[in-house]
C-alpha cells in the first residue's frame, strides 16, 4: 500500500486518513463469517472497503483477529491483531491498525465495522470533515463506537489505557479520550444497521 497523498480542502492541508475495516469478530450469532456474506454478489467486506476507499483516497486495510479465510479477498492489506493484544476485542484491531499507520504518512484512521454494509461514502466523508480530534459517529444520541476517527497522535494514550488501566471497551476508551459525538441523523437510518444474525441479514436485505 502506498502512502496517502496530501489533499487540499478549503486552501488548507487536510488530514491524511487510513480507512480500517474492523473484521475481527467471531460471527457467533450469525453462524458464519459476516465478512463473506453477500449482497447483490458483493461481500460485506468488499462493500465496506469500497465505501471507505471512496472517502480516504484509496487507502484501506482490513483488521482481523488472527487466522482468517479473508486472505482470499486479496485486494486489501490484512492486518492481524498484535500478539500482545490477543483477546482484547475490537480495541485490538484499532491499536494494531494505528501502529501500522504510524509507519506511513497518515494522521488518523477511520474505522468502520464489516457488519455495517450499508454505510455510504457521504456519511464517512461527513465524519472525517467534522472530526477535529477523536470522534465517534452515532444516531439518535447513541454512539456507534466502531464507526469512529482515531488520531494517531493519541496512540500512546490509548496504549496506556489498554495496557495499564485495562480499559478495553471501545466506548470506554473513547470516553477517556473525550471523543466528540458526530450525529448521523441527517442520513438514511438503514445505513447504520448492524447485521449480526441471520434474521438481521434477511431483514436488511429486503429493506435496502
Dihedral of alpha carbons 1, 46, 19, 102, sign: negative
Q: pLDDT tens-digit profile of 88-144?
A: 999 999 999 999 999 998 999 999 999 999 999 999 999 999 998 999 999 999 999
Burial annotation 71-98 (CB, 10 A radius, 16+ → b, else e): eebeebeebbbeeebeebebbbbbbbbb
Q: pLDDT tens-digit profile of 154-200?
A: 999 999 999 999 999 999 999 999 999 999 999 999 999 988 776 66
User: Can you give the CATH number for the domain in which 49 is found?
Assistant: 3.90.550.10
Residue 7 scores a pLDDT above 70: no
In a domain, 111, yes or no: yes
Q: pLDDT tens-digit profile of 33-42?
A: 788 888 888 9
Instruction: Give the three-state DSSP class for 40.
Output: coil
In a domain, 1, yes or no: no
Q: pLDDT tens-digit profile of 95-110?
A: 999 999 999 989 999 9
Query: Cell numbers 496512540 correspond to what residue?
Result: 155
Q: What is the pLDDT of residue 160?
A: 97
**Average pLDDT over the chain, rounded to an integer:** 85
53: cell is 476507499
In a domain, 141, yes or no: yes
Q: What is the pLDDT of residue 40?
A: 85
How many domains, the chain?
Answer: 1
In a domain, 106, yes or no: yes
What span, in angstroms and rounded, lies between the C-alpha atoms of 108 and 118? 23
pLDDT band at 56 (very low <50, low <70, confident <90, very high): very high
Q: Which of 23, 181, 24, 20 is nearest to 98 (CA)?
A: 20
In a domain, 70, yes or no: yes
pLDDT band at 208 (very low <50, low <70, confident <90, very high): low
In a domain, 3, yes or no: no
Burial annotation 3-35 (CB, 10 A radius, 16+ → b, else e): ebeeeeeeeeeebbbbbbbbbbbebeebeebbb
In a domain, 2, yes or no: no
What residue numbers bound the domain in which 147 lies? 8-207
pTM of the predicted model as reported, rounded to 2 decimal places: 0.86
Q: Tally Cβ neighbours within 10 Å of residue 154.
A: 18
13: cell is 492541508
109: cell is 484512521
In a domain, 138, yes or no: yes
Quick one: what percent of the chain has pLDDT higher than 90? Answer: 64
Helix (H) or strand (E) holding 17: strand 17-22
Q: pLDDT tens-digit profile of 74-85?
A: 578 999 999 999
More confident residue, 72 or 9: 72
Amino acid at each position: 500500500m502506498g502512502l496517502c497523498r496530501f489533499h487540499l480542502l478549503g486552501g488548507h492541508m487536510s488530514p491524511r486518513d487510513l480507512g480500517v475495516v474492523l473484521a475481527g469478530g467471531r460471527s457467533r450469532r450469525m453462524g458464519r463469517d459476516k465478512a463473506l456474506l453477500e449482497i447483490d454478489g458483493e461481500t460485506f467486506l468488499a462493500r465496506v472497503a469500497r465505501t471507505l476507499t471512496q472517502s480516504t483516497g484509496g487507502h484501506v486495510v482490513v483488521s482481523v483477529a488472527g487466522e482468517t479465510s479473508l486472505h482470499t479477498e486479496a485486494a486489501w492489506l490484512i492486518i492481524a491483531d498484535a500478539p500482545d493484544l490477543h483477546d482484547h476485542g475490537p480495541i485490538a484491531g484499532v491499536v494494531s491498525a494505528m501502529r501500522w499507520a504510524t509507519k506511513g504518512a497518515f494522521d488518523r484512521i477511520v474505522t468502520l465495522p464489516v457488519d455495517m454494509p450499508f454505510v455510504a461514502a457521504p456519511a464517512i466523508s461527513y465524519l472525517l470533515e467534522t472530526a477535529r480530534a477523536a470522534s465517534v459517529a452515532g444516531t439518535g444520541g447513541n454512539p456507534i463506537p466502531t464507526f469512529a476517527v482515531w488520531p494517531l497522535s493519541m496512540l500512546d494514550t490509548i496504549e496506556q489505557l489498554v495496557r495499564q488501566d485495562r480499559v478495553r471497551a471501545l466506548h470506554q476508551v473513547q470516553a477517556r479520550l473525550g471523543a466528540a459525538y458526530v450525529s448521523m441523523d441527517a442520513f438514511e437510518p438503514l445505513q447504520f444497521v448492524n447485521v449480526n444474525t441471520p434474521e438481521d441479514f434477511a431483514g436488511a436485505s429486503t429493506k435496502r
